[in-house]
């Protein structure tokens, strides 16, 4: 409650106005907090991610490879199959074991959509464990097709 001290009497009159100074102080503190926190919450950071040097997982004794060649033909192991016959060929190669991991490898010149299409065909056939095969970043050939020199 505020009081008015401008009278000459000994009696004090009550002032019914709201003191907004503490409210303004709190709002300014919140404004500063949000001004500092807002730039920190954005995810606009450009980062060049390094190549993976993780240890490769152990291969099974008889892995099943599904290969997509540059001309978009598909092979299971060494046998070329049609896209419609892929599910049956994978079932025959795995002994109808849908829990077995399928290794999918595709030529780097084919579109990403073609790899996703093959993953969808395998998923519809019941194979949910699909591994994408790539070269190790330390042993990958350069643009000329030559492997890097080994370091001692």
pTM greater than 0.95 (yes/no)? no
Q: How many whole angstroms separate alpha carbon 102 and alpha carbon 135?
A: 17
State whether residue 42 is helix, strand or coil. coil
Pairing of strands 13-15, 102-106: unpaired
**Is residue 118 within 8 Å of residue 73, measured between CB atoms?**
no
**Number of residues written out for the chain:** 152
Beta bridge partners of 130: 102
Q: Do residues 66 and 118 make contact, with C-beta atoms less than 8 angstroms apart?
A: yes
Q: Are strands 74-76 and 79-81 parallel, antiparallel or unpaired?
A: antiparallel
pLDDT of residue 63: 85
Taking only the tens place, the pLDDT of each residue in 76-116 is 888 889 888 999 999 999 898 888 999 888 887 888 888 89
Mean pLDDT by 10 residues, the chain (152 residues): 59 79 93 85 53 68 86 87 90 89 86 90 91 68 51 40
């Amino acid at each position: 409650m505020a009081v008015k001290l401008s009278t000459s009497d000994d009696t004090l009159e009550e002032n019914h106005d709201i003191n907004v100074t503490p409210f303004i102080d709190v709002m300014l503190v919140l404004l500063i907090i949000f001004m500092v926190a807002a730039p920190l919450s954005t995810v606009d950071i450009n980062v060049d991610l390094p190549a993976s040097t993780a240890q490769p997982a152990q291969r099974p004794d008889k892995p099943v490879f599904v290969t997509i060649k540059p001309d978009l033909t598909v092979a299971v192991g060494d046998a070329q199959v049609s896209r419609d016959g892929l599910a049956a060929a994978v079932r025959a190669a795995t002994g109808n074991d849908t829990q077995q991991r399928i290794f999918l490898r595709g030529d780097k010149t084919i579109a990403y959509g073609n790899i996703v299409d093959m993953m969808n065909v395998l998923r519809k056939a019941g194979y949910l464990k699909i591994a994408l095969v790539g070269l190790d970043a330390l042993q990958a050939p350069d643009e000329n097709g030559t492997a890097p020199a080994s370091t001692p």
